[in-house]
Amino acid sequence: MDADPMDTTRLDDDLRAMLAEVESDRRGEPSDYLEDVAGQHVDGLAAAVCTVDGHQAAAGETDHAFALQSVSKALTYAVVLQEVGLDAVLERVGVEPSGEAFNHLSLHDDGRPYNPLINAGAIMAHAVLPAGDHEERVALLVRRYSALAGAELEVSQDVLDAERTRADRNLGLAHLLADAGQLPVSAREAVAGYLAQCSVTVTAPQLAVMGATLAAGGTNPVTGERVLDEWVAQQTMSVMLTCGMYDATGQWVAEVGVPAKSGVSGALLGAVPGALGIATWSPRLDERGNSRRGIGIFEGLSARWDLHVLQHRGALRGLRVSR
């Protein structure tokens, strides 16, 4: 069944309207790493979308490049699934929401981190990437992230330097994983690579294309390149839905209903299967570390565009007998 044609001018109009609605909200604090990054303004705002058939729209500071930070966790999970397969990944990291803060050490009894979107699980997922050393792992990720975005992405040295001076907690988590005999590489190497993936920068339109690639089942709708298998996109969006907003995920699913991943840069990535990718950037965070104005934009767009993935869509229609 073909969907009715879409009025794509509405994408731009609605994005601009949503930005205008949240613009004046100055609540929340930006992450402290930004103090050490040149050219970062904490009241910046951008939003972009890309549909699975390649229509793009954007509003706000669409040229500004920000760090992926924890948004990279979802992307690395996709890459490692693609590279080594689901079973090999699940041996090292689970898929259960932890209900704890992102930097909490939430481990199953067998020593596996709860899921790949908290720091412990993300460090593990990074360490499982098949590569000889930390530089190769980062190079593999930058190549795959670039294919997902359809743009040449790179690691920001400024952001990486700022992250390295604040790495104690992540090193602590990695040493505990190593002590439990779980980490396939050294704690130092895993954290060095993980911090580099967090420091890859993107613009909002580039991030929206990454979301659209997931939403389209792994084929980049702008370049036409198949980057991930369909099952990988599905597994990645599954953990984004159940774990992507940390300990605010339950409320997020109830109110927004979009598989998503947040980062402390103020980045927010959403992917609605079969529909579109959405990206927002606004650095002021709530107490859970999620972008305040970003959440506002997603709430508004979900309501306007019927994006909740659990919305009733006439299941079993194909089983009905026409009379």
Say whether 291 counts as a known binding-site residue.
Answer: no
Does residue number 163 form part of the binding site for ligand GLN (CB under 6 A)?
yes
The continuous run of DSSP H or E covering 140 comes out as helix 134-149
Does residue number 280 form part of the binding site for ligand GLN (CB under 6 A)?
no
Q: How far is the CB of 225 from ligand GLN (least distance, A)?
A: 27
Say whether 163 counts as a known binding-site residue.
Answer: yes
Exposure string of 199-214, with b = 16+ CB inside 10 Å and e = fewer, is bbbbbbbbbbbbbbbb
Q: Which is closer to ligand GLN, CB of 51 or CB of 262?
A: 262
Exposed/middle/buried for residue 6 (C-beta within 10 Å: 0-12, 13-18, 19+) = exposed
Among 40, 56, 70, 213, binds ligand GLN (CB under 6 A): 70
Does residue number 244 form part of the binding site for ligand GLN (CB under 6 A)?
no
Does residue number 69 form part of the binding site for ligand GLN (CB under 6 A)?
yes
Among 198, 227, 237, 307, binds ligand GLN (CB under 6 A): 198
Nearest to 163 by CA among 184, 193, 142, 121: 193
Q: Mapping DSSP to helix (H, G, I), strand (E, B) and coil, where does residue 256 land? A: coil
Does residue number 302 form part of the binding site for ligand GLN (CB under 6 A)?
no
Does residue number 119 form part of the binding site for ligand GLN (CB under 6 A)?
yes
CA atoms within 13 A on the CB side of 154: 4
Cβ atoms of 196 and 160 within 8 Å: the answer is yes
Among 82, 156, 170, 206, binds ligand GLN (CB under 6 A): 170
Does residue number 289 form part of the binding site for ligand GLN (CB under 6 A)?
yes
The CA distance from 282 to 66, in Å, is: 10
Sites of contact with ligand GLN (CB under 6 A): 69-70, 102-103, 119, 163, 170, 198, 263-264, 289
